Amino acid sequence: MDSNVQLVKNLLKYTFGLVPIVAGLDKFTNILTNWSQYLSEGLAAIIPLETSTFMMIVGVIEIIAGVLVLTKTRIGAYVVAAWLVAIALSLIFSWTYVDVAVRDLVMAIGAFSLAKLSENNYIKA
């Protein structure tokens, strides 16, 4: 059983470590998607930056979060879970991309699960 738990923990660790890094890097290139489209008009109107500049800052935060998951798994997983909830709430409040918001909430549950798995004494983070 311990080997299955370790396998799941490692799968989650590398998923929630590498995916934010890739998404963060893509904020600079927009190869996967045009990330600015996910920023609500209301939020875009109040930030004192161009939308693309704001998304690059978001990208840096995501890269840091991914690295944190890979190096300090428990703390990083909590950060990623909170970040995903914040993104989901932003999308829900603007009532745009609600399908993405639901996906992000599910991913937040996965990241939270990784954090909880990393707290167990028998599994080192």
Length of the chain: 125
Provide the CB-side half-sphere exposure for 108 (13 A, CA): 16
Torsion angle of the four alpha carbons 50, 51, 57, 62, in this order, in degrees rounded to the nearest 10: 180
Residues 65, 120: Cα–Cα separation, whole Å: 21
Predicted pLDDT at 73 = 97
Q: Confidence band (pLDDT; 50, 70, 90) for 2?
A: confident
Higher pLDDT, 115 or 122: 115
Residues 107, 67: Cα–Cα separation, whole Å: 17
Please give the mean pLDDT across all residues of the chain. Answer: 93
Q: Confidence band (pLDDT; 50, 70, 90) for 59?
A: very high
pLDDT greater than 70 at residue 125: no
For the entire predicted model, the pTM comes to: 0.90
